[in-house]
Structure 1
Amino acid sequence: MRQAALPRARLDAIAIGGSAGSIEALGVVLPALPAGFHAALLVVLHLPRERPSLLCNIFRQRCALPVREAQDKEPVEPGTVYFAPPDYHLLVDSGPRLSLSVDAPLNFSRPSIDVLFESAADEYGPRLMAVLLSGANSDGARGLRAVQAAGGATVVQSPDSASSMAMPQAALALIQPDQVLPPARIAALLTTLHKEGLS
């Protein structure tokens, strides 16, 4: 497990992406975040397109932070968890505001992690952390590279802690992230950032 220095800029957003096995990882990370956590959390998971998501119902009961499904054009509020709805890309526009798109799937996925990470990198730059979790394809690797190029912090779930290793491995083949950690250590990192006044 690799660890680098904490971000120097205060984080205004944490973008999180994952696919197979990522709900279990999120179940460790999100409930650990305290009320008063500053950064907004923008979450894209690969979900079946044909039925409603139950993620908000699952996590609303377990989290100290407000949890909701992202709505098109709504302002991003600090300390709020936003889940991308099924079959829509989630982007961040200037403001910052959320935007939903029905553009073609990327990496066979809509919502796409790359789409979220790249748009969030454009808006937040060094005030962004991107976290890539367990998953079965390469979505998210290119987006992490964009976050890194914009000066943001990058975290990848350690492959040996992921039930589907392909997504973390694809990211590690493309970039050297700031942190490679299992879910419990990702949760600890975010709570440390909060205590340090960085999130």
Structure 2
Amino acid sequence: MSSPAPRLCDTVDVIVVGASAGGVSAVRALLEALPANCPAVVMIVLHLPRDRPSQAAELFAQYCALPVAEAEDKAPLTPSTVWIAPPDYHLMVEDRDTMSLSLDEPVLFSRPAIDPLFESAAAVFADRVLAILLTGASNDGSEGVAAIRAGGGQAWVQQPEEASSPMMPASALAYAGADAVLTLDQMRVRLRSFQP
């Protein structure tokens, strides 16, 4: 008799999420599903306008059982917390305990961009990363999904047919593939079980 598949909470230390056009409602749907005792660090990049403050953390906090905050340079990677990239900064994993913000050049015209977050998470956490790529109208995230999978981590990609903007998930699937191609509802079901 085969042993049961390992639980997400036993194999994942950090969840990284990327979204662009149509992403606010998609990210909200995922955050609603995270249990209050989810042990992972959650880091999110949404393509945001660079020229005005973001209210994303305040907005998402209303729908999430975990604390939600805007990321700060050199802040600790606190487990059971959701960190949102601020406008005009790339959000990155510096080491297993620390995040960082960067003013490096925009990636595919975006800062924050998804690829720097995914690639830095893969470099630090290797096979302990779950990447989730959602709706969007660019190719951002494709290189990052490739890096996550090359490092042994898992990548879930939203079904392009369901996404508000299918280009981003379709591009990632064509370039890097995925460990699972899921609807938002299927992702929500899986995330609800992400608890000890």
Matched with 1:139 is 140
Where does residue 186 of structure 1 map in the other structure?
187
Aligned twin of 2:19:
18
Q: Tell me how far apart the structure 1 counterparts of residues 63 and 82 of structure 2 sit (CA, whole Å).
A: 12
Alpha-carbon contact 1:26-1:183 (below 8 Å) kept: no
Please report the RMSD computed on the Cα atoms of aligned residues, expressed in angstroms. 1.3
The residue number in structure 1 matching 2:67 is 66
Which runs of at least 4 in structure 1 moved beyond 6 Å after TM superposition?
5-8
Question: 1:6 touches 1:193 (CA, 8 Å); kept in 2?
Answer: no
Structure 2 residue aligned with 1:93: 94
The CA distance in 1 between the partners of 2:193 and 2:147, in whole Å, is: 25
Give the total of aligned pairs.
Answer: 191
Give structure 2 stretches of 5+ with no counterpart: none
Corresponding position of 1:45: 46
Is 1:148 aligned to residue 149 of structure 2? yes
Listed as ranges, the matches of 1:120-131 within 5 Å are: 120-131=121-132
**Which consecutive unaligned segments of at least 5 residues does structure 1 have?**
none
Give 1:7 shift: 6.8
Q: Which residue of 2 aligns with 1:32?
A: 33
CA contact (8 A) 2:38 2:194 kept: no
Alpha-carbon distance in structure 2 between the residues aligned to 1:102 and 1:28: 29
Q: How far does the alpha carbon of each residue in 1:84-117 deviate from its partner, in whole angstroms, 9 at most, with x for none?
A: 0000000101132110000100111101100000
Displacement, 1:191? 1.8
Given that 1:7 and 1:153 are in contact with CA atoms closer than 8 Å, whether structure 2 keeps it comes out as no
Secondary structure of 1:159's counterpart equals coil
8 Å CA contact 1:92, 1:119 repeated in 2: yes
1:170 to 2:174 alignment: no
Give distance in 1, aligned partners of 2:74 and 2:28.
28
When normalised by structure 2's length, the TM-score is: 0.94
Distance in 2, matches of 1:94 and 1:24, equals 30
Question: How many angstroms does 1:193 deviate by?
Answer: 3.6
| Distance in structure 2 (CA, Å) of the matches to 1:22 and 1:175 | 21
Residue of structure 2 in register with 1:54 after alignment: 55
**Structure 1 residues 6 and 144: CA distance shift in structure 2, 3 A:** farther
The Cα of 1:6 is off from its aligned counterpart by: 6.3
Kept in 1, the 8 Å contact 2:67–2:81? The answer is yes
User: TM-score under structure 1 normalisation?
Assistant: 0.92
Matches of 1:92 and 1:179, distance apart in 2: 24
Which amino acid is the alignment partner of residue 137 of structure 1?
S
Instruction: Determine if contact 1:96/1:123 at 8 Å carries over to the other structure.
Output: no
SS of 2:11's partner is coil
